[in-house]
Amino acid sequence: MRRAGDRFRFTGHGSGHGVGLCVIGSARLAERGQTPEAILAHYFPGLPISGVSGLSGISGVRHLSDPVISLTLPDEDEGERTAIARRALGARDEIAKVLGVAPPPTITLRFHPTVDDYARATTQPWFTSGAIVDGELHLPPLAELRDRGVLDRAMRHELVHLMTDGLLATRPLWVREGAALYFSDRAAAPPAAVRAPCPGDNELRRPVSAGALTNAHARARACFARQIEQGRDWRNVR
């Protein structure tokens, strides 16, 4: 067992429930009047049980802002918790101001310990830089994003999705992706004079390679930016 940010990671092998307890069995013991202590003693004989303490740092970085950002980091990155939280909150407030929307009251940001963990948790290809799953922002390892030179951009990209996807839910995927690409990096080059077709949903959702995704992203951003530069509000891009 090891600590991973605000969670605990259990590893091992064997049969049965391993480190867990049987939900059905424990529920039946409770129905028979067994106390929680007795149920734990049944499944974990000899385990000392103490009171819960030291929870102040588990739920997120509460001292930095209220509303809270809940940040999960692998053990080796724990020393960067405060800096990453500040950058994420700063980006949240800046993007919300540019978009003209209220900042999300809570942010859950998860940096995965390995690229494989990220891919399994999000079902996204390993070469992507972030995803939102059930309202939570999932990103590859910090070191991986830094090696690619996209750490801040990746956080900003997913924050834009968090603030715009609901309002753009009925639009083609290129609109939602284009908004995230445009507002996460507004200093990027303007769209090319030659108009390439806007990418289809499958090109963005199931790219066959990193190069194909880069091409689809460039076209999505260009299609979105072109309408913004024509004076259209981002909410009305279609």
Query: What confidence tens digit (pLDDT) does each residue in 185-210 have?
Result: 877 767 666 688 999 999 999 999 99
Residue range 21-50: mean pLDDT, rounded: 75
48-75: burial string, b at 16+ Cβ within 10 Å, e else: eeeeeeeeeeeebbeeebeebbbbbbbe
CATH class of the domain comprising 58-164: alpha beta
As a whole number of angstroms, the distance between CA 164 and CA 162 comes to 6
Strand-pairing partners, residue 7, are 4
- What is the per-residue pLDDT across 105-129, written as a single tens digit (0 to 9) for each? 899 999 999 999 999 999 999 999 9
- pLDDT at 168 (0 to 100): 97
Quote the tokens at residue 180: 């995230």
Comparing 28-42, 133-147, 167-181, 224-238, the range with the smallest average pLDDT is 28-42
pTM of the model: 0.71
pLDDT for 52 beyond 70: no
Q: How far apart are the first and last CA of the chain?
A: 49
Q: How confident is the model at residue 16 (pLDDT cuts 50, 70, 90)?
A: very low
> Strands (DSSP E) along the chain, which ranges?
2-4, 7-9, 69-72, 107-111, 131-133, 136-139
- pLDDT at 42 (0 to 100): 82
Comparing 2-6, 85-89, 117-121, 234-238, the range with the smallest average pLDDT is 2-6
Instruction: Parse the chain into domains and list their residue ranges.
Output: 2-43, 58-164, 168-238
Q: What is the signed CA dihedral for 192, 198, 202, 205, rounded to 10 degrees?
A: 60
- Residue at token pair 């999705």: 161
Could you tell me which residue, 171 or 59, shows the higher pLDDT? Answer: 171
Residue range 43-63: mean pLDDT, rounded: 54
- pLDDT at 58 (0 to 100): 37
